[in-house]
């Protein structure tokens, strides 16, 4: 069974440009999460999809970030326009259906390393 995949693995862009990150979860996983790790800091939650719906987007830093999961399969995270502080590693994770409030084993992708110059 294929794991969680992310594309691209690395992206280097200039301030003001747009970047779109993609995450393909494990097939059949309803839950999809986006996380970000800024250099030297802990991983931070960005948002959570259940199928195509945004369950929780409380971690999204501002309106320059837009996440979508059309059809409840893969997800994209767009940053427009990118700022220097957006640099970091963006992780995606997926898990099977869970009851509200319960944790489930999350399977992480390899991450996308974003560098904004």
Residue number with CB closer to another protein (27 or 102)? 102
> Applying CB under 8 A, does 2 fall inside the site for another protein?
no
Q: Which helix (H) or strand (E) holds 34?
A: strand 31-37
Q: Is 48 in the site for another protein (CB under 8 A)?
A: yes
DSSP output for the chain: ----EEE-SEEEE-TT--EEEEEE--TT--EEEEEEE-TTS-EEEEEEEETTEEEE-TT--STTEEEE-GGGS-EEEEESS--GGG-EEEEEEEE----TT-----EE---EEEEE-
> Does 105 help bind another protein (rule: CB under 8 A)?
yes
Q: Is 70 in the site for another protein (CB under 8 A)?
A: no
> Is residue 1 close enough to count as binding another protein by CB under 8 A?
no
Residue from 91, 94, 114, 116 that binds another protein (CB under 8 A)? Answer: 91
Length in residues, the chain: 117
Nearer to another protein, 62 or 99 (CB): 99
- Asked if residue 34 binds another protein (CB under 8 A), the reply is no
From candidates 14, 56, 83, 85, binder to another protein by CB under 8 A: 56
- Contacts with another protein by CB under 8 A lie at 4, 33, 35, 41-45, 48, 55-56, 58-59, 91, 93, 100-111
């Amino acid at each position: 069974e294929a794991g969680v995949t992310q594309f691209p693995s690395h992206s280097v862009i200039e301030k003001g440009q747009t970047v779109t990150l993609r995450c393909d979860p494990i097939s059949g996983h309803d839950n999809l999460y986006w996380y970000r790790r800024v250099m030297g800091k802990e991983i931070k939650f960005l948002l959570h999809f259940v199928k195509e719906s945004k369950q929780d987007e409380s971690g999204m830093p501002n309106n320059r970030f837009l996440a979508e999961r059309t059809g409840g399969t893969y997800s994209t995270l767009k940053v427009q326009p990118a700022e220097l502080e957006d640099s970091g590693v963006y992780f995606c994770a997926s898990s099977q259906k869970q009851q509200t409030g319960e944790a489930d084993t999350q399977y992480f992708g390899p991450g996308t390393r974003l560098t904004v110059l």
